[in-house]
Every structure is written in structure tokens, then in C-alpha cells.
Chain A
Amino acid sequence: MARILETRDLYGGYGKMVIINGVSIYVDRGEVVALVGPNGSGKSTLLKTIYGVAKVFKGHVVFDNKDVTYVPPEAKTALGMGFVPQTDNVFPDLTVEENLEMGGYLLRDERKLREAMEVVYNIFPQLRDLRHVLAGALSGGQRKMVAVGRALMTMPKLLLMDEPTAGLAPKTALELLDKLMDIKRETNASILIVEQHARRALEISDRGYVLVSGRIAAEGSGRDILSRPDLQELFLGKHG
């Protein structure tokens, strides 16, 4: 299988603070890869560094055989990447429909924009009824749908998702994860997902990485990681 994303010895962080310390990971085409680890291990920062929202100090990010290390976020989206940040992942002052429209900002064709919007409304039927409501007025779960829907508008080849279920009730969270797997099957997008429901995330993923203090502590298939007792104690126990 061909690589869709690869990081090579990546160092990243904010200002002068280095949080990601030489991370090399990869995602193959059509793969779902989970990134798990204790709080403060740098999972969010790794995704932000890959996308160019946080600062790259050293190393490389390769997407679809192109070196995109210093490509700004807006150009990464144009290349076929997508990102759902953990927080601030909607435009609160815009309606649901306008949020989706902004997700499809790069679709220059009005017809394509409407088509993509239909796809999102079919995935999240609730959003169709809420389309004229400001995203800032939505509940947490509805907001997550908008956040994911916005990122789906360009039909990215690779989707980075930072805890899409954070703050949701367990039942809603698991429903959303199942929905994400449906989306994956339909669009054949590759997914790199950070998830607090680590056990569930590893179960549905092809592979996983364990990030500790900005370094990869373990990698392997989801099953392998789940069966290692040392890792279970480190972080899985609490959320599993």
C-alpha cells in the first residue's frame, strides 16, 4: 500500500517550546490510524504540526509523495488534506450552512458545493434542519457534526481528527465514531484520529501509535497495543 502521509523525525511546538520530539509515523492509503497517549503527551500538537497550525522546528511532513513541511494550512487543504481541530472547530458567528460553505470554500463551482452539502446533510440529517442556525447556538454534539461536516466538504484524501468525540455523552460519542467509520467506507479517505475513547479507537483502527512526552512509545496493530498490559496501565485503564 502506498503512503498517503509520512512524518520523518518531526519536531514541533509553539513559540520556542518544543513539544513534539522527533516523531516518525505514517498512514497508508485507506487506513485508519489511531493516535493515543496520556494527557499532555502532545497528540493535538502533533496533528497541528502536521497541518502547519503549530510550528515545525525540524523534520519533514510528506503528503501524497510531496514534501509539505512548510506548506501553509490553506494550501494543505487545497492539496487534499482535511483537519477537524479539537476546540474552536466551528465558526460560531456563521450559520450551519455557512460553516459548510466555508468548508467548501475551495470548491469554485457552485454546483459542486451544493452536491457536497447534500452529502454532509445525508450523513448528518439533523444539520439540514439546523442549517440557518448560528453554529455558536448549537449543542456540543451538534457542533461536532458541523465540525466534521465542514472538513468533509472538500472530500479530503486524508482526514486528521482531534478528539471528535470529546465532551460528548458516551452514547453520542460511540455513535459518532460509528458514523466516522461509515464515512470512511463510503469515501475511502484515510484517517489519522486522536481519541480519548482509546480502546474503541484502537478497535476500529488498522494501526495505532502510542505517544508519550512527544515521542512514539509504541506502535502496532490496534489489537497488539490493546493486548500489552504495560500500555493498558499507562493510559487505557481510565477510559477503556
Chain B
Amino acid sequence: MVVNAAVVLYGTIGSLLDGLLLGSLYGLMALGLTLIFRVTKIANFAYAEYITYAGYAAFAVSSMLAGGVTAFIAGLVAAMAVGAVASLFSDELAFKPLWHRGADSLTLLVASMGVGFVMRYSLLGAAVFANWPLQVQPNVANPVLATIGGLAYVSGAHVAAVVAAIVTAVGMHILFTKTRTGKAMRATASNPVLARISGINIYYIRRLTWLLAGAIGGLAGFLYSYYNPLNPESGWQMLLWIFAAAIMGGFTFYGALLSGIILGLAEAVMGFYMSTFLHISTAYSPVIALIALVLVLLFRPEGVIRLETHMLRRRV
């Protein structure tokens, strides 16, 4: 079969644009996971469910409205609020009590799988009970802003995802390096007893961390469902990419964003070429993320960016 050159060109551009969108979302999701990990040392598998819950909250709230800007804002606010609350509750009800009893990171990781499982299938049960459609999407139109060659296009979701991811990553970096609250988060992670002795209310800092991480997950959940329909397992299905981005990023904020974008681009572009030239189903595209993760862990185990090494270099 002869492959049309125009199809290849515009298909490549389109997959680059979609990869950037998807990658920004992976990066954004990884930012919340990174925040929780850096402050509480929990590799939180339940994090994916905050994203899904947020998407459903946006669907539920926006469906009650007539669409348009009001529905967009209401959906966004609902998603971030539900993500934040789901995140805080999972800590207050599960992780914090275990931590108080001296649970180590591995115990907390397994507990987070349990929390995620309960959350995921509660939502599935609720969806069946409420007779929701199999897939949901907020009642918000995603306008096409520009088309390229009739194949590639830029939509509102593309712009929103990229802007949200960059703004959040920069915001988190500023929070951690410039503000007293962010430094107190790092201090709490570094030495919780000394943090208390220094006058830091570590329980307040912990609650703030979970709320913020959940809100970031909620923002990502809203933007994801703005572009793609969502089902009760959507967050869970993306968890591998989220963890891959956070790990490749060395649990730094800029690292997570950059890694997410690399993963999204690799998946979309390689997926397009594989299906166009080799006729390999795009269902195999997750392999690309895994290969990227393995390569990074082999050659740069400290992640694509590592904050600490930069800071150590400043030693006088």
C-alpha cells in the first residue's frame, strides 16, 4: 500500500498536537502525585481515582446547566473541589491513621491500592445504579480553534491543557522554593519532629498538601474529560503513565511536566507511525511509555531533572 505524503505530514502534525495535549495532562496529573510523594512519602495509587471522581463531578454539575461558559466554570470548580475533598478524605480516613501507627512506605502503598480499589468500584456501582451512560463527558463544548490540512486541529482542550500544566508546574515550583508554606511542606517531609519543634503545625501542612494535590488531580480530570469521554476506570488506566512521568521526573515539578510531555508525544507520534506504516494496532502504544521509562531508569536513574543536584552544585 502506498502511503499518501499529505496524510503522513498532517497525521504527524496532528499526532504531535494530540501528544502535546495528552502529555501535558500526564504531566499535570504527575504534579499532584509528586506533591503527595514529596511531602508524605506515599506512592499513592488511589490518586488516579481523584482524577476520575473529578471528571464525574464535572459531568454531573455541568449536565444540570445549559452549557457555555457557566457550565465550563461550574464543571471546573466542581472537579477541583471533589478532587481535593476525595484526596483529603482518603488521607484522613486511611493514610494518616496508618502513619500514626508507624506504617512504612510499602504498607501505605498497598493501602493506597486498597483505597483506590474501593473508590473505583464504588463509582462503578454508583454509575450502574444511577443508570449513567457507559462513558461520560461534561456538558461543555470543545471548540476547534484551528485546522491544519483538514486532518490536524487545535481545540480549546489543547490550549487549556498546555496552559494549565505549565502554570501549575511553575506555581508548584514557586510554592516550594519561595513561599514559607511551601518550605514548611519540605521541612515537614525532611524532618517532621523538628518541623513541630520549629513551630510548624504539621497536621495543617499535611491537610493543605492533600487538598492541593487533589485539586491538581481534579483540574487534570476536568481537562481530560473535556477532551476525551471518561469511564469509572479511566484514572486507573492512566496511572501507569502518571507514575512513569513522576518517576522519570525524579519527583520534581518541572521534571514531572517534561516527562509527561515526552511520554504523551512518544505515545501519540509512535502510535501514529506504527499504525500507518507497520499496521500495528495503537492498542500497543502503552509499550512506548514503558520503554521510555525503562530507558530513563537505565541511563538516568535520578530522573530527567533533579533539583537536589542543582542545589548541591551551588556549594561554596
Residue positions of A touching B, CB distance < 8 A: 51, 53, 72-74, 77-78, 83, 85, 88-95, 98, 101-103, 105-106, 129-130, 132-134, 137, 150-151, 154
Q: Are A88 and B197 in contact (CB under 8 A)?
A: no
Given contacts A73-B197, A77-B197, contact A90 B316 (CB under 8 A): no
Interface string of B203-224 (1 = CB under 8 A from A): 0000000000000000000000
**Chain B residues whose CB sits within 8 angstroms of the CB of A53 once the complex forms:** 193, 196-197
Contacts of B200 in A (CB 8 A): 74, 102, 105
Give B47 Cβ to nearest chain A Cβ, in Å: 22
The size bracket of the interface on B is 20 to 34
- If A77-B199, A93-B308, A105-B180 touch, does A85 touch B194 (CB 8 Å cutoff)? yes
Assuming the contacts A73-B197, A133-B316, asked whether A101 and B183 have C-beta atoms less than 8 A apart, the reply is yes
- Could you tell me the distance between the alpha carbons of A77 and B202 in the complex, rounded to whole angstroms? 14
Which residues on B are within 8 Å of A, measured CB to CB? 180, 183-184, 186-187, 189-191, 193-202, 308, 311-312, 314-316
Report the bound CA distance from A10 to B236 in whole Å: 52
Q: In whole angstroms, what is the CA distance A74 to B316 when docked? A: 33
Instruction: Report Cα–Cα, A207/B194, bound state, in Å.
Output: 28
Chain B residues in 8 Å Cβ range of A130: 316
Question: B204 — nearest CB in chain A belongs to which residue?
Answer: A74
Q: Assess whether B316 is in contact with A132, with CB atoms less than 8 Å apart.
A: yes
With A94-B186, A134-B308 in contact, do A103 and B315 touch (Cβ < 8 Å)? Answer: no
The contact of B190 among A72, A92, A137, by CB within 8 Å, is: A92
A154's closest neighbor in chain B, by CB? B199
By the criterion CB–CB under 8 Å, are B198 and A105 in contact? yes
27 contacts between A and B (CB under 8 A): A51-B197, A53-B193, A73-B193, A74-B198, A74-B199, A74-B202, A77-B198, A88-B193, A88-B194, A91-B186, A91-B190, A91-B195, A92-B190, A92-B191, A93-B190, A93-B308, A94-B187, A94-B190, A95-B311, A101-B180, A102-B184, A102-B200, A105-B184, A133-B316, A150-B194, A151-B197, A154-B199
Question: With A77-B199, A106-B199, A154-B199 as given contacts, are A91 and B194 in contact (CB-CB < 8 Å)?
Answer: yes
Q: How far is the CA of A91 from the CA of B196 in the complex (A)?
A: 12
Our pick among B198, B308, B314 for the contact of A102 (Cβ within 8 Å) is B198
B66 to A: closest C-beta gap in Å: 46
The 9 closest A-B pairs by CB, nearest first: A77-B199, A106-B199, A93-B190, A91-B190, A73-B196, A102-B187, A102-B198, A74-B196, A105-B199
A134 cross-chain contacts in B, Cβ below 8 A: 308, 311-312
Q: Is the CB of B183 within 8 A of A94?
A: yes
> What CA separation (Å) do A94 and B314 show in the bound complex?
13
Contact of B314 among A72, A91, A101, A133 (CB under 8 A): A133
How far, in whole Å, are A152 and B189 apart by their CA atoms in the complex?
22
- A50 CB to nearest chain B CB (Å): 12
Partner of A74, one of B201, B311, B315: B201
Q: With the chains together, A11 CA to B194 CA distance in Å?
A: 23
Known: A77-B198, A91-B195, A105-B187. 13 other contacts (CB 8 A): A53-B197, A74-B200, A85-B197, A88-B193, A91-B190, A91-B191, A93-B186, A93-B190, A94-B190, A98-B186, A102-B184, A132-B316, A133-B315
Contact B316 A129 (CB under 8 A): yes
Q: Given the interface contacts A94-B186, A134-B312, does A85 sit within 8 Å of B193 by beta carbon?
A: yes
